[in-house]
Amino acid sequence: MEPKTSSRFELYLERARPRIDAALHRYLPPASALPAPLHASMRYSIFAGGKRLRPALCLLACESVCGSSAAALPAAAALEMIHTFSLIHDDLPGMDNDDYRRGRLANHKVFGEGMAILAGDALLALSFSTLLKVRRRGVDPCALLDTVVEATGTRGMIGGQALDLLGERKRLPLKQVLSMHRRKTGMLLRGSLLLGARIGGAAPAEIRRFAAFGERVGLAFQIVDDLLNVRSTARELGKAVGSDRARGKSTVPGVVGVARAERGAERLLLSAQRLAPRLGRRAAEFESLTEYLLRRSH
Amino acid sequence: MEPKTSSRFELYLERARPRIDAALHRYLPPASALPAPLHASMRYSIFAGGKRLRPALCLLACESVCGSSAAALPAAAALEMIHTFSLIHDDLPGMDNDDYRRGRLANHKVFGEGMAILAGDALLALSFSTLLKVRRRGVDPCALLDTVVEATGTRGMIGGQALDLLGERKRLPLKQVLSMHRRKTGMLLRGSLLLGARIGGAAPAEIRRFAAFGERVGLAFQIVDDLLNVRSTARELGKAVGSDRARGKSTVPGVVGVARAERGAERLLLSAQRLAPRLGRRAAEFESLTEYLLRRSH
């Protein structure tokens, strides 16, 4: 094992985590309130050891344009609720049928299928009212909500998961695999940056730069994830190795091979890296994020 | 068969329906856009012959306080999306496992379980951005959203469905059955009225009157539905008769018997009827609604 040296981005993740977790604790219904099993199910998956990548990107973008991220905390919590909702539903028997997630039993294996469906539904509903706890002068709540629905709905994550489902056991062409990943993973990562930038009061030109950076990093993130799925040991990933292939899922390494997928991720990340210096005060963290993903891609 | 004489409320439902359907067509993604099966699945259940009760209540409440309901149309469409999302998810094998809904195959029997889960998720996400298309001076979008999330989330419909699931094959006391129905059905019906009243610019005292009326009608509506489930023929209801009992669901008639359930519904509806005259310009329609439910209860 190589010695652990955390990058600038990883240090930011570590520092942001307690703030994000505190916000999540605050906005989720108390575990003791009725119906307790529903709330327990929501909390089980929210506090299951996620990296809080999307909330951290939201806070980073906000800090990058305005210096302070306190106003963006409700949005950060909302993003993690949406991400968690998607993980719970993706693991269901009617979807990807995964029994494990991050090395722990999947939500539906602990709370049952019906309660897992409802916990996902409840997190999605709650995310929207949590998002609109952002009250900042000059920030239009409707624009925030539209950003999140675009990233989450049929043009975003949910649409991407539908494409994924429809593509199972088919050999999709690369173009379709990329389009699926852009929606399924890219849109919410991009949306996290846009949300933070909007809350920070970013100008339209700044928003466009975050969008361009987010598109590259979001797509690369999924390719890197698929590369890890091909290569890693079960212990590291916390789920069955090569499970994508076993399920007949189309992935970039599956379609063009590992070497070309690595080069593709690298190209995207280098392009994102060139955009990073113009992303404001947190440019160094964004650059470090691309390096962090580049390291994981090999 | 008795001759068909439509009540004032039913006439309103019939007249409102084309406007509501046109709004739904406008706000749903086009069936041809990618991923087409996801959009087809959403449209299949939205246009499956629902009565549009919740949207109509929203329009009625808005008209009752301000005279015009055009501004409330996006909210009306959003309510039907939320109602439809709940029907799709409730019918899933992991939930109530119903193969039929309104005499047609349930969504998951046509599009598969995974696509049905995603169609429900997508309708829920879309409902929130549709809701915020309501732009009316003096109406706070955050208050509208909070009203809908309260009615939909863990304190409303989704929480009620969780209580329903947890109560299966148990003999729940009446108090718990009532609490489950209040959340599962009552909260969204009440919320539909509150939403319309808020969009119409209702004063706090008016909002409270709509809430009191909605609580009574909402609970009575579920008891009447359960009475119909006990008594009706499969043809009329479009689903298996007595299916609640077969599934071990607790209902008011199941717990206290048909006669006491009828008297309970009647008491609630008469109490609502006494509130109706103070609900504004559409008081006659609201009174007619209570009579319509009274007729169905026997």
Across chain B, which has 298 residues, the per-10-residue mean pLDDT values are: 75 97 97 94 97 98 93 98 98 96 96 98 98 93 97 98 93 95 98 98 97 98 93 57 68 94 97 98 98 92
Q: How far is B183 from chain A (nearest CA, A)?
A: 11
- pLDDT for res A244: 67
What's the pLDDT at A199?
Answer: 97
Write the CA distances from B291 to B3, B280, B298, integer angstroms.
17, 18, 11
For residue A237, is pLDDT > 70? no
Among A28-42, A72-86, B235-249, the minimum mean pLDDT is found in B235-249
**pTM surpassing 0.90?**
yes
Task: Indicate the burial class of A173 (C-beta count within 10 angstroms; 0-12, 13-18, 19 or more).
Answer: exposed
Give me the residue spans of the domains in chain B.
8-297
When mean pLDDT is compared across A56-60, A237-241, B151-155, the lowest value belongs to A237-241
pLDDT at A171: 87
Q: How much is the pLDDT for B229?
A: 87
Point out the residue among A38, A142, A165 whose CB comes nearest to the CB of B159.
A38
CB pairs under 8 A between A and B: 152
| CA torsion, ordered B119, B125, B129, B130, to nearest 10 deg | 40
Residue B234: its pLDDT value, please?
47
Q: Return the pLDDT at A28.
A: 98
Q: What pLDDT is stored for residue B88 in this prediction?
A: 98
Residue B30 in contact with partner chain A when CB distance is under 8 A: no
Residue B87, Ramachandran bin (φ over 0: left; ψ between -120 and 50: alpha; else beta): alpha
Statement: residue A163 has pLDDT above 80: yes
Task: Give the mean model confidence (pLDDT) for residues A244-267.
Answer: 88
Confidence of residue A240 (pLDDT cuts 50, 70, 90): low
Q: B141 Cβ partners below 8 Å, 6+ apart?
A: A132, A141, A142, B132, B134, B135
What gap in Å lies between CA A72 and CA A75, rounded to an integer? 5
Q: What pLDDT does residue A1 have?
A: 45
Note the CATH number of domain A8-297. 1.10.600.10
A36: left (phi over 0), alpha (psi -120 to 50) or beta: alpha
Residue from B89, B92, B108, B124 to probe the interface with A (highest A Cβ count within 10 Å): B124
DSSP reduced 3-state for A52:
coil
Pick from A38-52, A90-104, A238-252, B273-287: least confident: A238-252
pLDDT band at A72 (very low <50, low <70, confident <90, very high): very high
Chain A residues close to B161, C-beta within 8 Å:
118
Interface test with A, best of B83, B92, B154 (most A CBs within 10 A): B154
Torsion, Cα of B251, B255, B261, B267 (10° steps): -100
pLDDT given for residue A230 in this prediction: 86
Q: For residue B167, what are the CA distances in angstroms to A37, A159, B94, B229, B247?
A: 12, 34, 15, 18, 11
Q: For residues B123 and B118, what is the distance between their CA atoms, to the nearest angstrom?
A: 8
